[in-house]
A = this chain, B = another copy of it.
């Protein structure tokens, strides 16, 4: 028997919070956002739902160097990231990397790679960024 999931207000609130954030967010931030809708929401519920949603592929985990994973909706997925060192917020980068290839020693089998950019944002924030390589 495959497990059947139920629709709860907590689950809705958590998913909406992540959707509206529109960028990779962490458990605490999710709790803060979703708590507006469901006051007594517990952090354990957030963790459990994140886990389930990632397994169900309703959510993508975003691995960041030097900090804990954040989460976002699959449609927003892009491995390449821009991390604002001031605000600690993370943005997706659409890098034009199709024709970029990395050559490694024979022993090393490359499965994927990720470009992580660090810097600051001076103006208003955007959530989806197209960048170019030259």
**With A and B bound together, what is the CA distance between A13 and B117 in angstroms?**
35
Judge if A133 is at the interface, Cβ distance under 8 Å. yes
Judge if A6 is at the interface, Cβ distance under 8 Å. no
**Whole-angstrom distance between the Cβ of A64 and the nearest chain B Cβ:** 6
Say yes or no: B101 contacts A121, CB within 8 Å.
no
Say yes or no: B118 contacts A105, CB within 8 Å.
no
Say yes or no: B107 contacts A82, CB within 8 Å.
no
**Whole-angstrom distance between the Cβ of A82 and the nearest chain B Cβ:** 6
Complex interface: chain B residues within 8 A of A115 (CB):
102, 113-116
Binding site for B on A (CB under 8 A): 61, 63-66, 69, 82, 85, 93, 95, 100-126, 129, 131-134
